[in-house]
Structure 1
Amino acid sequence: MPADLAVIGLGPYGLPLAQAAVAVGVATIGYRTGPEAGSLSAAEQRRMLSGGFRPATNAAELGRVRTAVICAPTPRGADGGLDLSQLETAARTLAAHLRPHTTVILESPVYPGTTEEILRPLLEEGSGLRAGRDFHLAYSPSRVDPGNRDFTPANTPKVLGGLTPACTESAAAFYGRLTDKVVRARGPREAETVQLLETNYRHVNIALVNEMAVLCHDLGVDLWDVVRCAETKPFGFQAFRPGPGVGGHAVPQDLTAHGGRTLRMVELAQQVNSRMPGYVVQRAATLLNEHGKSARGARVLLLGVTYKPDLADLHGTPAQEIALRLMELGASVSYHDPHVPTWSVLDRPVPRVDSLYEAVADADLTVLLQQHRTYDLQGLSVKAQLLLDTRGAAPTGAAHRL
């Protein structure tokens, strides 16, 4: 069966898009751009296959679809900027098979201007076609929130901006099949900058509340109660909560590596958030010391090592640095996570405990890093000798909170 849609890049952005398309009956093929890892479960992937999704290994198949969406990963490179190499490879691959009247959409996180200055020339040079005349070209920021049961692709508005008005309408017609609301930006640069603003908004606000967590601990103030009270304000405030660090695939962008433009607040937010794993280890060592124990030789159990609750995704998880720093202090580190059967830190396997309650009772210190739904924090706090709760999830007074 011929496909309507090709999703190029089957990582954290491409797989959810393909899943949403298949769910509404869009015949979809998926083409990998590298060793990507998405966050769909095995059951979800089986449902996609039974719904008509088909992995493609022959790039020629990309030339037989009406819409091609590039979702190649753009991780942080060695210079601190976005690495666009997989995106460029995907563009060249698509260009070699691009046919007239195809709608090409970019969803990868990129700098403003990437669609017009990088993607467009690659597609035009490789195909001999002209964007806006022979094929449609647009950008749409991905708004994937893995594990969110309230907001799905169907009820999350989709922003897009086309190279021309006709490009915008062609992309809108495609996304109109997947979502209840399409929001048209003035053009690709505006749509790209929406992604920049949304990502940085999250990181800046997490940094603010992380700084507040450190301050409140020093002042003897219960930050979690402060946030609980503050979020009752019906205007001008949105609640964010602190944590052991910021993980995930969305990379904050201060544009320093893109023409030297610096967003000072984003740069500072990165510094604040990157210090949180070290702060967690400092708090852990202090707690042990206050109870007559040294970090060296202490049995430390980490609960939840993924970057987000109830998912198996380890991308950018702060648990990695926390475990490493604890090991460097001489602690004996083990972990429990219902979604992660094996885990290594710098190629050093970390022991996984099987009997959770026994392990919590045996550990000198238990550190809750991720609040998976399966954790009974009331029961665990009773069993634990010491419990450091970095998520404010344990009952009040049952644990030492971040």
Structure 2
Amino acid sequence: MKHDRFQDLWDKLKNKSAQVGIIGLGYVGLPLAVTAAKKGMPVTGFDIDPSKIDALHKSDSYIEAVASEDLKSLLDAGTVAWTADFSQLSGMDVIVICVPTPLTEHRDPDLSFVTETTEVIAKHIKAGAMVVLESTTYPGTTAEVLTPILAKSGHVPGEEIFVGFSPEREDPGNKHFRTATIPKIVAGDGEAAGKLVTLFYENVVDAVVPVSTTQTAEAVKITENIFRAVNIALVNELKVIFDAMGIDVWEVIDGAGTKPFGFMPFYPGPGLGGHCIPIDPFYLTWKAREYELSTRFIELAGEINSNMPNYVVARLRETLDRELGIGLSRARVLIIGIAYKKNVSDMRESPSVRLMSLLNQAGSKVAFHDPHVPAIPKMREYPEFLGWQSLPFDDIRAEDFDAILISTDHDEVNYEALVNLGIPVIDTRNAIARRQLSEKNVTKA
């Protein structure tokens, strides 16, 4: 039986006839669905959000990394289908889970999206199918959480169904790497699953990197994100120290970056954003407690990065007091860039929204301009900002604001025009100096 189920799926993967179901059509799932379909595999995308399904049926992409033209051509060719009917999972040979893995308010892992999705899969999965988790999580999740749930289907994991893990490595806004060109870490819960998950992704991406266990693959992704979180925290701390000394941290980093070995530049900012870097390291912190171990580096980095919005607001307060003699309670502040990262619309964990909240609490009148975010969407936090609209750039006037706070440095913004307004600019991204514009009214923060 083991050989028959394995061989049947192997053959389907070899000739690309395996039906692929992708659950969660966000920043990870939708690019993966389109990439797999472009490589000749039949794909069905699943999502609980009916607005996403409606948009996809109209070939209307809501993610920058996916072109609406590609959605239309794939839909016309019958290569993709989109549905909110999860009973159709019974026809899938490969099911990939791409759902969120947030933190609770106490910074514990919230695996509810993963577990609820896996419970649904267990009700519908057929013998001979494979399930792959792509959501970032702590080491042990696939083997200790997914596999037991899937065993409730009545199919024996490793013999009749197969389970794997392959962490997503999407980088929204990065034009140099796309889903197909980013090397893919893969692992299976058992030898047979490892071979199948490797073959599946070899059909989809250019380079596959198998590792020995799903725990190792989970640890790889967490390590990548901790590496960034810790190094960003380091330069954020250096920024605070060097600012106090009257030293430009950006110039320091540029200088250090000329060393051809032993240094890798990271850059400070107003705080961490995105789904991965602010959240994923704490999955390991939580898991480490099981082994009575502390993660001091990770927790310290989180503390530093989480405090950066407060530091930026303090610099804004100092500037307003020095330049205009007013406090935050009377200030009118325009935030440039509300997305968490330049040149994307992704709002997940955006420090810009935290800045808005702090200023709002201080009594400031706050507005924002973002060419990628016409209105603030629903978020897990800050419901008070739902629907706030971006101020059109042409409507930005000096008499309406006391200060401009650059939080996200989108390339489409006319920074020269902002500087020419003649009001104080708080620049958290070195956007003005990088463009060699006048820094007369600019305070770096």
Q: What range is the shorter-chain TM-score in?
A: over 0.9
Q: Matches of 1:42 and 1:195 in 2, distance apart?
A: 21
Q: Matches of 2:45 and 2:351 in 1, distance apart?
A: 31
Q: 2:170 aligns with which of 133, 144, 155?
A: 144
Residue 77 of structure 1, CA deviation: 1.4
Conserved? CA contact 1:30–1:54, under 8 Å: yes
Q: Secondary structure at the match of 2:281?
A: coil
Match status 1:156 vs 2:175: no
Match status 1:339 vs 2:372: yes
Cα deviation 1:241-266 (Å, max 9, x = unaligned): 10111011111324343361432111
Amino acid at match of 2:88: E
Residue 62 of structure 1, CA deviation: 1.1
Q: 1:373 aligns with which of 411, 420, 432?
A: 411
Is the alpha carbon distance of 1:242 and 1:356 closer, same or farther for their aligned partners in structure 2, counting shifts above 3 Å? farther
Match status 1:229 vs 2:255: yes
Match status 1:253 vs 2:287: no
Q: RMSD value over aligned CA atoms?
A: 2.2
Q: 1:273 aligns with which of 305, 311, 332?
A: 305
Conserved? CA contact 1:252–1:266, under 8 Å: no
Cα deviation 1:106-165 (Å, max 9, x = unaligned): 11111111111110000011x111111112211111101111100112221100111222
Q: 1:383 aligns with which of 397, 402, 421?
A: 421
Aligned to 1:310: 343
Amino acid at match of 2:28: Y
Residue 306 of structure 1, CA deviation: 0.5
Aligned to 1:123: 150
Q: Matches of 1:358 and 1:86 in 2, distance apart?
A: 41
Q: Secondary structure at the match of 1:258?
A: helix
Q: Matches of 2:237 and 2:287 in 1, distance apart?
A: 28
Is the alpha carbon distance of 1:176 and 1:43 closer, same or farther for their aligned partners in structure 2, counting shifts above 3 Å? closer
Return the TM-score normalized by structure 2. Answer: 0.84
Aligned to 2:431: 393
Q: Matches of 1:135 and 1:184 in 2, distance apart?
A: 20
Q: Matches of 1:137 and 1:47 in 2, distance apart?
A: 30
Match status 1:264 vs 2:296: yes
Amino acid at match of 1:84: L
Is the alpha carbon distance of 1:276 and 1:356 closer, same or farther for their aligned partners in structure 2, counting shifts above 3 Å? farther
Residue 36 of structure 1, CA deviation: 9.8
Conserved? CA contact 1:77–1:83, under 8 Å: yes
Match status 1:172 vs 2:198: yes
Is the alpha carbon distance of 1:146 and 1:331 closer, same or farther for their aligned partners in structure 2, counting shifts above 3 Å? same
Q: Matches of 2:415 and 2:63 in 1, distance apart?
A: 26
Q: Matches of 1:376 and 1:309 in 2, distance apart?
A: 14
Conserved? CA contact 1:13–1:71, under 8 Å: yes
Conserved? CA contact 2:352–2:408, under 8 Å: no
Q: Matches of 1:278 and 1:35 in 2, distance apart?
A: 38
Task: Give the stretch that moved more between structures: 381-390 or 8-17.
Answer: 8-17
Match status 1:321 vs 2:348: no
Q: Matches of 1:76 and 1:43 in 2, distance apart?
A: 27
Aligned to 2:12: none
Match status 1:185 vs 2:228: no
Aligned to 2:138: 111
Q: Matches of 1:252 and 1:43 in 2, distance apart?
A: 25
Aligned to 1:98: 125
Is the alpha carbon distance of 1:35 and 1:304 closer, same or farther for their aligned partners in structure 2, counting shifts above 3 Å? farther
Which blocks of at least 5 consecutive residues in structure 2 are unaligned? 1-16, 53-60
Amino acid at match of 2:189: L
Aligned to 1:27: 42
Q: Matches of 1:50 and 1:368 in 2, distance apart?
A: 39
Conserved? CA contact 2:65–2:172, under 8 Å: no
Identity among equivalent pairs (%)? 34
The count of aligned residue pairs is: 400
Match status 1:54 vs 2:91: no
Task: Give the stretch that moved more between structures: 147-156 or 185-194.
Answer: 147-156
Q: Matches of 2:306 and 2:221 in 1, distance apart?
A: 21
Q: Matches of 1:46 and 1:347 in 2, distance apart?
A: 35
Q: Secondary structure at the match of 1:137?
A: strand
Conserved? CA contact 1:361–1:385, under 8 Å: no
Residue 93 of structure 1, CA deviation: 1.0
Conserved? CA contact 1:357–1:380, under 8 Å: no
Q: 2:245 aligns with which of 208, 219, 226?
A: 219
Task: Give the stretch that moved more between structures: 17-26 or 44-53.
Answer: 44-53
Q: Matches of 2:202 and 2:99 in 1, distance apart?
A: 22
Conserved? CA contact 1:301–1:359, under 8 Å: no
Q: 1:288 aligns with which of 287, 295, 320?
A: 320
Return the TM-score normalized by structure 1. Answer: 0.93
Q: Matches of 2:91 and 2:422 in 1, distance apart?
A: 59
Is the alpha carbon distance of 1:386 and 1:45 closer, same or farther for their aligned partners in structure 2, counting shifts above 3 Å? same
Which blocks of at least 5 consecutive residues in structure 1 are unaligned? none
